[in-house]
Structure 1
Amino acid sequence: MSSPNYGPSYYGPQPHTHPNGTTILVLGILSLVVCSFLGPFAWSMGTKALREIDESGYPYENRGHIQAGRICGIVSSVLMMITFGFLIFAFGIALLSGGFSS
């Protein structure tokens, strides 16, 4: 009795894991929850990692984590810029109205 032939046993290239995937995701989440100053780091690291993944030509299993961390970093960075803009505006209004004079 012979064994059944199920065709070729080629499964394609195995997906790789980017070494900074978890770090980028954690930085992105922490930038939204704890400290918005981490947002630009998650944004830049995520952009760099996605560029490396695209240039490699191999499938990566944690591409979604990198994208999520990068998006969280972008959102956090924009919120931080809006907050700084509002603070500068409020400080300018207070200076012009004489709110800091003694």
Structure 2
Amino acid sequence: MSNEGPSYPQDRPAQDRPAQEWPAEQAYGQQPAYGQPSYRPAYGGGAPDQVRFHAPGPTVEHPRATLAFVLGLLSVLGLTILGPFGWYYGNKVVAEIDRDPREFANRGIAMAGKVLGIIGTVFLTLTVLAIVVLIVVAVVVAAS
């Protein structure tokens, strides 16, 4: 080994080391140079195709998710006429929640209302078919 001096850069004296060059940073609130994008839209502004983020915090429950659930549940419990309404509202609410899931929190309740509405609609269809079959059978028996 030779004694020419330290071999690592941090061991060299400060005057021998090259100065670090940091990129120029903009001061807070300073406008960017002409032709450079600012990347900070004004409050409520921005391009229409940009994603707008909500402030972090708790989301609220969708006001019609519980309605969809109740309609679907009642349709399964015997009021089958409410099945299509539960299905419709459940589908509509789930679509609204999926459009922006950060805004509403109770997608599961809306989905349960949609599924119960589908089941209630199937029960309604079976009930209507059973009534039609009973009427046809009654007409055939009465005619003979």
Range into which the TM-score falls when normalised by the shorter chain:
0.7 to 0.9
Deviation at 1:60, TM superposition (A): 3.1
Rounded to whole Å, the distance in 1 between the matches of 2:118 and 2:131 is 20
State whether residues 13 and 58 of structure 1, in contact with CA within 8 Å, keep that contact through their aligned partners in structure 2: no
TM-score, with normalisation over the residues of structure 1?
0.74
Q: How many pairs were matched up?
A: 89
State the Cα deviation string for residues 48-96 of structure 1 (Å, max 9, x = none). 1111112225363210000111111110110111111011012112212
Taking only the aligned residue pairs, the percentage that are identical comes to 33
State whether residues 76 and 123 of structure 2, in contact with CA within 8 Å, keep that contact through their aligned partners in structure 1: no
**Which amino acid in the other structure matches residue 40 of structure 1?**
P
Note if 1:70 corresponds to 2:121.
no
Greater C-alpha Rg: 2
Aligned to 1:28: 72
Deviation at 1:40, TM superposition (A): 1.0
Residue of 59, 70, 81 corresponding to 1:37:
81
When structure 1 is superposed on structure 2, of 39-48 and 15-24 the one drifting more is 15-24
- Which of structure 1's runs of 4+ aligned residues deviate more than 2 A? 12-16, 56-60
Note if 1:95 corresponds to 2:95.
no
State whether residues 66 and 109 of structure 2, in contact with CA within 8 Å, keep that contact through their aligned partners in structure 1: yes
Provide the secondary structure at the position in 1 that maps to 2:59.
Answer: coil
More helix by share: 1
In structure 1, runs of 5+ residues without a counterpart are: 1-11
Provide the secondary structure at the position in 1 that maps to 2:142.
Answer: coil
RMSD across aligned positions (CA)? 2.0
Note if 1:84 corresponds to 2:124.
no
In structure 2, runs of 5+ residues without a counterpart are: 1-55
Aligned to 1:54: 98
TM-score, with normalisation over the residues of structure 2?
0.54
